[in-house]
Each structure stands twice: as C-alpha cells, then as structure tokens.
Amino acid sequence: MLYINEERINNLLQDARKLTSRQLDAILEKAKSLQRLSLSESAQLLAVNDRPGVAKIFQAASFVKDAIYGRRVVLFAPLYISNLCANNCLYCAFKSDNRVTKRKALTVSEITAQTEWLLGRGHKRILMVCGEAAPGGKAHVDYYIEAVKAIYAAQVGPHRIKRVNVNCAPLTVAEFVKLKSSGIGTYQIFQETYHDATYRRMHPQGPKSDPDNRLDAVDRAFSAGIDDIGIGALYGLFDWRFETLGLLSHVEHMEEKFGVGPHTISVPRIEPAEGAELSFNPPYKISDEEFKRVVAILRLSVPYTGIIMSTRENAQMRDLLLSLGVSQISAESSTSPGGYSAEDSAPASQPEAQASGQFTLGDHRSLDEMVATLIDHDYIPSFCAACYRMERTGEAFMQLARPGTIKGKCSMNALVTLKEYLDDFASPAVKSAGEKMIARYFKSLEPAEQERLKLFFTHVDSGVRDEYV
C-alpha cells in the first residue's frame, strides 16, 4: 500500500517496550509542549496499559486539547445525499449486493429541503456524504457540485450554511479542482484500514477495491489546491494499534510531501449495519478502554489536528471523549438520504422508510440537547466557520494551530456563534445556561477582548448574524 510501510509499523509495535515512569513522563512533556510525536514515541504510548500510565496519558491529552483549541467544541450535522454505491464493502449497509437497503439519491430540491430542516434547528456546518455512485449516469463530481451549491443556496430567515465539508469518492486532480471551485471546506476520505491484506478482503468489488487509488486521493486533492483534508480509519477491521500507527504514517507522509498534516482525523468504530453481517461481529473489536486510548494518543501525537467523533458512539462515550481530545462532534444525525424530517422533532425518532441508513446510531440527542450537554460540561458550543472564510486553511491554519495561538480566535468566535444560537433557537433552559456561560467566560477576557465581544453582541442583538474574527 502506497506510503504505508507495514514492516516498519510492525517492528515499531514489536519493539515498543514497557516504559519507565520517567520515560513516559518525558514523552508526555514533549507532547504537552505541543510538539508532534514520532512514530516510535506513539508506538510506545500504545504499549502502555497499566492504570497509572494510562491515567497520565489521559491527563496529558486533555491538557493538549485545551492548549490548542481552548474549551470550544465545533458542532456539525452529516447530510447524506445518496446511498447508491458501486462498492461491496463487507461492513457497510450501502454495499452493492445488499438487497435489504432501500436506495435513494436526493434531487436538488430534496437536498434544499433537507438543508432547510437543518437550518431550522440551528445547524450551520454540514458534512455532505454519499455512496460511490452517481444517479442518472451523471459524473460523480457534477452531482457533488450540484449538491454543494444547493446546500449553500438554502436559506431560512437570516440563516444559511457557513461551511460544507465533503466525504465522497476519490476523484482525479481535474475533478478535485472542480469540486474545490464549488466552495467546499474540508475534503474527507477514510482509508478504512491501513493493513493491505485486510483492505483487499473487506473491499472485494467496486472502485474502492484498489487501496492505492484511495490512499493517493489525498495527494490528488492536495495537488488540486484543497489544503484542508480529513482522514480516518474504521476501527474494528484490524488491530487498533496497527491502525493508529497507519494513520500516523499517513500524517507523516502528508507533512513530508505537502508541509501540511490533516485538518481532521476521524476514528469511527464499526457499528451494526442492516444487511452487512460482518458489522455485527467485527473481526478486531476494540474495547471502550482501548478506544479511549486511541483518541488520547492521537491527540498527543498530532496536537494541531481536529478529532471528530460521530453519533456512532453512545452519549456517555461521546461526552467522555471530549476530555480526551475530541474537538468536533456531530449532533442530531441521520445516515440515510432524506432522513431529516420536516416535522419539528429529531430525525432519529422518525421512520426512515424512503431510504436506508449506513449504520446504527448510538447517540440520538437533538442539537439543543447536545448544546445543553456541552454547556453542562463547560465546553463552548461553536458553529464557527471563520477560518474557512478568512482563508486560514492548510499551512495558514497550521501556523496558528501548532503553537496554540488559534485558541483565542476559536474561543471568541465560539462565544459569538453561541449567542446567535441562544437568541434564535435555544430552549429556555439552554438559553439561561448559555447566557451564564457567556458571562463567566466574558470575565476571563482581557479588557480589549471584552470590548470587542461586547461590540459583536450589540450587533447580534440588532439582528446581525455571522460576524467573526
């Protein structure tokens, strides 16, 4: 598999020895200084399994997350536009030979309606997702661009989507250039597994059966000028330690070739998917305790990168992982095309008869409930997309994220977007709790920052929306 040296990964894992307390402290101090860890150092952290050592790793991960991003957590919603797929991935409900799955590709008007539903709930950031097939014989990229334009064009009152990230099939460089021109934020693609034999076994048919083409899609996207890239592995297909070093090997390649690592890393675990037997009994099931270690070690290894946690995980696990490094979290998700209801209730409670979902959801909380939870845990809910608007992407973003100086901008913008949400969408209890949070954080700001924030809030009170620094 391109860029992934399995022998090197296996040797690092085999050679990783039990660390002395002093050696562990030295690695963690390096991470807490916001330096990238080497593959060898990450492998050594993966070998730590004693309770005191793991506790130290968790504490350091929490420190690094707060040092880079502060207390803000970005909220988004996935929008599945199609479950048509030419691949036969053994773990996925969208696999081509699954006769149980009800298929659908949304039209432009349906995409608009779904976006309006999300806007009406308070969402401002969307991850657009689709299967690896386009409807009606269209080219993949043309369908994606139509969808992106429809999402950005949708409007409910003064509210519009600020940022559309895209999770879609690998494209050519020319196609990536076209996709970038539609105004996307992050391009997201998961290798699923970095173990070559496992990859080929799990993807027996379809375009996705070529692991090198999928891995090289990240390079092609960079070459096309897309400098915010999201990568990820699907935990449960192979050994979790190997997959973590595989991910970090991919990060290493991106940094060496392009000078920029991934904007985000996602760490989904296999969840049951209707019609995909393997998903009910993953070959390398990862425990909750091992999964927590993965998140913490990724946060320490790549401190500048956003870590995404989807609604695959249950509410308790998602809340806990916020303290171990997660900085972006989905809310009120549906994984089926057309799954968001026009009714004023959470999509998870609606029958999804028109199309099947990709996997079973673990967290069914509404956006308002997620905002309440974040506030209760002293995290600032953020709907910000300022970096995308200010062209703080790629290396420009990394220059701010690596030393932790992005935190000031993130916190300011998070407080502004929180006030907008409280004024426009929040339930009375959430509005009250959020206003108390804003007052508490306001007191911690420097006088100049307080004056700037007061000006923003005055504008919000007068009806202005979507200001940022």
Token code pair at residue 211: 């692991």
In the chain, the amino acid numbered 41 is: E
Mean predicted confidence (pLDDT) in 397-413:
70
Give the whole-angstrom CA distance, residue 382 versus residue 261. 23
Pick from 26-40, 401-415, 454-468: least confident: 401-415
> pLDDT tens digit string along 128-166?
999 999 888 788 999 999 999 999 999 999 999 999 999
Mean predicted confidence (pLDDT) in 309-334:
96
pLDDT at residue 348 greater than cutoff 60: no
> pLDDT tens digit string along 48-77?
999 999 999 999 999 999 999 889 999 999
Pick from 113-127, 160-174, 334-348: least confident: 334-348
Q: Where does residue 306 rank: exposed (0-12), middle (13-18), buried (19+ CB within 10 A)?
A: buried
Q: Report residue 387's pLDDT band, with 50, 70 and 90 as the boundaries.
A: low
The pTM assigned to this predicted structure is 0.93
What local confidence, expressed as pLDDT, does residue 39 receive? 97
How many CB atoms are located within 10 Å of the residue 281 CB? 10
Mean predicted confidence (pLDDT) in 419-431:
98
> pLDDT tens digit string along 92-138?
999 999 999 999 999 999 999 999 999 999 999 999 999 999 888 78
What local confidence, expressed as pLDDT, does residue 401 receive? 66
What local confidence, expressed as pLDDT, does residue 114 receive? 98
Q: Report residue 354's pLDDT band, with 50, 70 and 90 as the boundaries.
A: low
What local confidence, expressed as pLDDT, does residue 462 receive? 95
Q: Which domains does the chain have, with CATH numbers?
A: 67-390+393-398 (3.20.20.70), 403-461 (no CATH)
What local confidence, expressed as pLDDT, does residue 397 receive? 60
What local confidence, expressed as pLDDT, does residue 351 receive? 41
What local confidence, expressed as pLDDT, does residue 138 receive? 81
What local confidence, expressed as pLDDT, does residue 439 receive? 97
Give the whole-angstrom CA distance, residue 131 versus residue 208. 11
